Amino acid sequence: MENTENQSPREKSSLSVPISIIIAGALVAGAVWFSNGNKIDTTATVGGAGTKKVDVSFGDTPILGEEKAKVEIVVFSDYQCPFCESFFKSVEPTLREEYIKTGKAKMAWRDFAFLGPESFLAAEATRCANDQGKFWQYHDLLFNRQKGENQGTFSKENLKGFASELGLNQSDFDSCLDGGKYTQAVKDDTDYGKSVGVSGTPATFINGELVVGVNTSDPFTEFKNVLDKYVK
């Protein structure tokens, strides 16, 4: 890509097995959830948008869209989260085409890296790509290559290979990633997400109104309903 109601969650239980196994059994799964002790829960439904608003900042990654856009979208996500991939493929294209490219909205990405070491590495790598002006291109590539969790897909070797595919200066990128230049920034983003109430990914704030997850049977409608309240 170019630069461009209320539902009750199913009763959650702490799990120590890989999240992908649990997801496979979900009927209408919508989000991957964070819980205490670095364990993961899932929910089979998507949390609807509510009336409570949260003041959420854009952070330090590039903003997609026009500065003067009325609608501000902040997405907290994890590059290994399967529902974040669903958001990327079934929600984000329409967001970009109908709201961002038309000047109605602007969008920022914030890291919520909680699915393991490769989540952190992938998030760091996008920031290293940003040093060379290709944050969103690298972001898109990661979701298009997503395959399982902590199985080597987002190993340092592969992340460096992705940089090569995008024509980045290899030496600069490798130095950035190997040196952990953005390790703390990714941790800070994840901690900030928790501080504003993020407990699952994807978590999307639209002018401060939170929509959690992706309804896999009707991905865009809930987002559109919230967006259009602020576009008018």
Q: Mind listing the pLDDT tens digit for each residue in 8-64?
A: 332 233 333 343 333 333 323 354 544 433 333 333 234 444 457 889 999 888 899
In a domain, 103, yes or no: yes
Q: Once rounded to an integer, what is the mean pLDDT over residues 61-70?
A: 91
CATH of the domain at 93: 3.40.30.10
pLDDT, tens digit (0-9, with 9 covering 90-100), for 180-223:
999 999 999 999 999 999 988 999 999 999 988 777 778 888 89
In a domain, 217, yes or no: yes
Distance CA 24, CA 9 (A): 17
When divided into structural domains, the chain yields a total of 1
In a domain, 2, yes or no: no
Task: Give alpha helix (H) positions in 29-116.
Answer: 82-90, 92-94
Distance CA 232, CA 224 (A): 12
In a domain, 149, yes or no: yes
Higher-confidence residue of 11 and 158: namely: 158
In a domain, 6, yes or no: no
In a domain, 12, yes or no: no
Provide the domain limits for residue 169. 19-231
Reduced 3-state DSSP string for 141-176? HHHHHCCCCCCCCCCHHHHHHHHHHCCCCHHHHHHH
Instruction: List strand residue ranges (DSSP E) for 46-129, in order.
Output: 71-77, 105-111
In a domain, 9, yes or no: no
Q: Residue 95 — very low, low, confident or very high, per pLDDT cuts 50/70/90?
A: very high
In a domain, 5, yes or no: no
Q: What is the pTM of this model?
A: 0.79
pLDDT value, residue 3 = 43
